[in-house]
Amino acid sequence: MDTTQWNLAAGTTAIIMPIIGVFVVAALIAAFAYGRRLRARQPAPPTPDEQPHLPEGGPVGEE
């Protein structure tokens, strides 16, 4: 029985899996950086002074 192919397959897997892992980690880091850039371009949330206030007569439409 020839086990050369099994040894070759195990060696190839040992080389390819860490490379795939590095690519996955790089993709996750790139996605995180892209999300931070998108979030930084959005306007800041309104301050309490910029929030809408109720009219003097109370909520509109209630009597």
Its pTM surpasses 0.85: no
d(CA 47, CA 7): 65
Q: Number of structural domains, the chain? A: 1
Nearest to 31 by CA among 21, 19, 39: 39
Whether 9 is covered by a domain: the verdict is: no
Domain membership of residue 22 as a residue range: 16-43
Whether 1 is covered by a domain: the verdict is: no
In tens, the pLDDT along 34-60 reads: 999 999 999 998 898 998 888 887 777
2: left (phi over 0), alpha (psi -120 to 50) or beta: beta
3-state class (DSSP) for residue 14: helix
